[in-house]
Amino acid sequence: MKFKYQILKDKGLLIQNWSEEFSVDELQIHIQTLIQHPDWNSVTKALTDTRGLNTRIVFNHFDQLKNIRSLIQKTEYKHVFLVDHPLSTASICHFKTKTKEDGYDYDFFSTPEYAIHALNIQGHNQTVLKVLNELYTKKEEVWDTKKQVNTTHCFDLAQ
């Protein structure tokens, strides 16, 4: 599973791209790395692009995903997913239902414009679209957890 992300500290926004074959173990490593980022405390909203993610095994891991989500320790945190196929939509919809009682706020959209609108990012749509596009298209600069020995396991475009 590959991860790319950028934190726009002044907007309180995490933008990330998840791609390739879904892996619970690799997601947990990514989240643990992410929450240690120096700008993590500024994040109040997240936009996750899953358009390149194969989610065929996600349904087998919802309890583990709930545990991983608890690592984030933020409940007042709006998280929007960008999806492109029915299985991703169903996975996120089911996860949203399973975590609603814990106070987590998830949503999903099929277009970047609607996803950005749902996050209520006033006046910064073009900036967010640009970062989202960079994360989606810059495949060659990604930490690949299957090929790298590095413990970072993700690529921060801001660095």
The confidence band for 134, taking pLDDT boundaries of 50, 70 and 90, is confident
Residue 65: Cβ within 10 Å count: 18
The residue-averaged pLDDT of 114-140 equals 82
The C-alpha atoms of residue 83 and residue 109 are separated, in whole angstroms, by: 6
Structural domain boundaries enclosing 103: 2-156
Q: Which residue has the higher pLDDT, 157 or 48?
A: 48
Closest C-alpha among 3, 14, 6 to residue 121: 14
CATH code for position 18: 3.30.750.24
Mean pLDDT over the full length of the chain: 77
Copy the structure tokens of residue 80: 């929007």
Which amino acid is residue 19, in one-letter code? Answer: S
The C-alpha atoms of residue 142 and residue 159 are separated, in whole angstroms, by: 13
Task: Output the pLDDT for position 92.
Answer: 79
Task: Output the pLDDT for position 152.
Answer: 33
Structural contact between residues 128 and 120, judged by C-beta atoms closer than 8 angstroms? no
Task: Output the pLDDT for position 140.
Answer: 43
Number of domains forming the structure of the chain: 1
The confidence band for 86, taking pLDDT boundaries of 50, 70 and 90, is confident
The confidence band for 74, taking pLDDT boundaries of 50, 70 and 90, is low
pTM, entire model: 0.79
User: Looking up tokens 């692009």, which residue turns up?
Assistant: 49
